[in-house]
Amino acid sequence: MDFRDIDGPTRREMIGGAAALGAGAALVQPAALFAEAGSLADIRKAAEAGKEASIKRIRDWIALPSIAAEDRNMPEGAAYFAQLARDAGFSNVEVVPTDGHPGVFGTLDVGAPRTLGLYFMYDVKQYDPAEWSSPPLEGRLGEREGLGTVMLGRGSANHKGPEATFLAALHAIRAAGRKLPVNLVLICEGEEEIGSPHIHQLVTKPNVLAAFRKCDGVFMPTCLQDLEGGATIELGAKGIIELELVASGEKWGRGPKKDIHSSLKAIVDSPAWRLVQALQTLVTPDGNKPAIDGWFENVRLLTENEKKMIREGIKHTNEARMKENLGVPHWVDDLSLEDAMVRLMQDPTVNIEGLVAGYTGPGGKTILPGRAVAKLDFRLVPNQTRAEAVKKLRAHLDKRGFKDVEMNVSGGYDPTETDPNSRLIRAEIATYKKLGVRPNISVRLAGSWPGGSFTQPPVSQPVGRFGLGTGGNAHAPDEYLLIDSTNPKVAGIVDATMGYAEFLYTFASIK
């Protein structure tokens, strides 16, 4: 099967990996370096022998979609991952209930001097099979021009593929007859794709918290290479709030309580227009900047050193290709690439994910809707907090007379920052350099993951994401993960497996 029609940017290109600092290491094929180094040759031999099992592990996991937004296969998803963890050597594995969907906790204690924490997720985004070139739960293999053999499937890149590849590293180390160089503490949640509303319950469960407080850092396996072979190291991530705003005739006390004939608009108020008016107050007239009262008062602007990182990083970026992949002809306000990347890293955002009122099917249906709903997400930057932002949004709407507009917060968490001098980040840099991969130090991820649950008290550990290989179209049709690479600068699944093994040994030994 040929998937050369698959189009779209890598995750790094989509969410700001272009804003990165190149460390200048020479680029070589990871496989060649491993062959020369030889220190983990026995593990590599085991990883190669286990390659088909690794591919099957990803494909089988993709076949069971756990979609929190649809309450689909959530208990089954937790139980399935719990068995994957046991198979990889974790003990004391337990499914942890929350007020929402369950998580999974486990430890792998080998008596090592250092302990590394792991953050996994088992939930994935929704999908429409009609939009895919192959069934989204099949994990079909095909060729992608310029990359090699890829696997298509929901969760292949975000994040079942990278997580299963990390588990493959544990299998390979055990198959080689080696003892792990570090102890591992694992938490896997099932609500990341809905804003992790109950992650705090997971990490503060007494036995879970006690285990994570013994860690020297927490990381999430992710495929972070770009097509030129560099790998992003993020020094933080934006936070997020996901919520609905709802305008209805019932709550408003004006307009209809149910859909009525549109001819009556001449004499009846419209909840749909009321929602539109409320939404417009949240941003500047062009929709490009938040206008919520007090929204920027605690925002930490980028330092000159951070802006320098961005300027250095875009030297490796093909702006025309980036725009083409995203399908956009211009950045907002016709910004230059440098100014656009600064804004991407620095600015909070207000985004409409979806807007629904009345009839949206074929043809027309002349009604005046009694209810209108907007789904929004808000990206937060350092020194903003979820609690502060929710409070300010509610106050902003109330002040403008929109007390009747309901605000239903479904999830979210604070932004996070990690000290570049932490052992975790230094180990990531050292591992990439050892493998001949250029570390691209990024100010922060413009997207979000709940790393703040670990950097903040009571856990208080540095966090990061790490991983070789690449994938793309996360949250979109034809999501893919690279399996066999034809690009000598980018790792396939065996080299990505070895990257995790090398990282564990580097983390154990770095001073």
Q: Is the pLDDT of residue 13 over 60?
A: no
Boundary-marking domain end, from 358, 383, 413: 413
Identify whether the C-beta of residue 503 lies closer than 8 Å to the C-beta of residue 231.
no
Residue type, 133: S
Q: Answer yes or no: do 436 and 292 share one domain.
A: no
Question: For the residues 26-54, what does the mean pLDDT come to?
Answer: 71
Number of H helices, E strands in the chain: 17, 21
Q: How confident is the model at residue 38 (pLDDT cuts 50, 70, 90)?
A: low
Q: Which has the higher per-residue pLDDT, 53 or 29?
A: 53
Q: Answer yes or no: do 479 and 367 share one domain.
A: no
Identify whether the C-beta of residue 282 lies closer than 8 Å to the C-beta of residue 350.
yes
Chain-centre distance for alpha carbon 29? 27
Strand partners, 261: 367
β-pairing, 239-248 vs 231-234, is unpaired
Question: For the residues 206-234, what does the mean pLDDT come to?
Answer: 94
- CATH number of residue 167's parent domain: 3.40.630.10
Q: Is the pLDDT of residue 35 over 80?
A: no
In a domain, 336, yes or no: no
CA-CA distances (angstroms) from residue 184 to 10, 494, 508? 29, 21, 11
Q: Is the pLDDT of residue 343 over 70?
A: yes
Q: Which of 23-32, 76-85, 196-205 has the lowest mean pLDDT?
A: 23-32
Question: For the residues 88-107, what does the mean pLDDT come to?
Answer: 97
Q: Answer yes or no: do 100 and 42 share one domain.
A: yes
As a whole number of angstroms, the longest Cα–Cα distance in the chain is 80
pLDDT of 316 reads 75
**Highest mean pLDDT range out of 12-21, 150-159, 223-232?**
150-159
pLDDT of 7 reads 33
CA-CA distances (angstroms) from residue 351 to 290, 304, 364, 379, 415? 9, 28, 27, 8, 17
Q: Is the pLDDT of residue 24 over 80?
A: no
Q: Which has the higher per-residue pLDDT, 5 or 155?
A: 155
In a domain, 306, yes or no: no
In a domain, 323, yes or no: no
Q: Answer yes or no: do 428 and 483 share one domain.
A: yes
| Helix extents (H) in 283-336 | 304-313, 319-326
In a domain, 383, yes or no: yes
Write out pLDDT tens, residues 289-335.
999 999 999 999 999 999 998 888 787 788 998 898 889 999 999 99
Write out pLDDT tens, residues 431-472.
999 999 989 898 998 989 999 999 999 999 999 999 999 999
pLDDT of 229 reads 80
Q: Is the pLDDT of residue 22 over 80?
A: no
Query: Where in the sequence is the domain holding 190, given as residue range(s)?
Result: 11-234+418-509
Q: Answer yes or no: do 198 and 253 share one domain.
A: no
What Rg, from alpha-carbon coordinates, does the chain have? 23
Helix or strand (DSSP H, E) at 30: helix 30-37
Residue by residue, what is the 3-state secondary structure of 225-256? ECCCCCEEEECEECEEEEEEEEEEHHHHCCCC
Q: What is the per-residue burial (b if ≥16 Cβ within 10 Å, else e) of 366-378?
A: ebbbbbbbbbbbb
Q: How confident is the model at residue 31 (pLDDT cuts 50, 70, 90)?
A: very low
Q: Is the pLDDT of residue 36 over 80?
A: no
Any idea of the CA torsion for 113, 431, 208, 159, to the nearest 10 degrees?
A: -160
Q: Answer yes or no: do 103 and 249 share one domain.
A: no
Identify whether the C-beta of residue 372 lies closer than 8 Å to the C-beta of residue 212.
no
Q: Is the pLDDT of residue 1 over 80?
A: no
User: Which of 425, 426, 414, 405 is CA-nearest to residue 387?
Assistant: 414
Which strands, in side-by-side order, build the sheet including 371-380? 349-357, 371-380, 239-248, 406-413
pLDDT of 346 reads 95
The mean of the pLDDT values for the chain is 91
Q: Is the pLDDT of residue 192 over 80?
A: yes
Q: Answer yes or no: do 207 and 253 share one domain.
A: no
Report residue 196 as tokens.
């992790």
| Helix extents (H) in 347-477 | 386-399, 423-434, 452-455
Q: Answer yes or no: do 183 and 90 share one domain.
A: yes
Q: Is the pLDDT of residue 164 over 80?
A: yes
Question: For the residues 65-88, what does the mean pLDDT come to?
Answer: 97
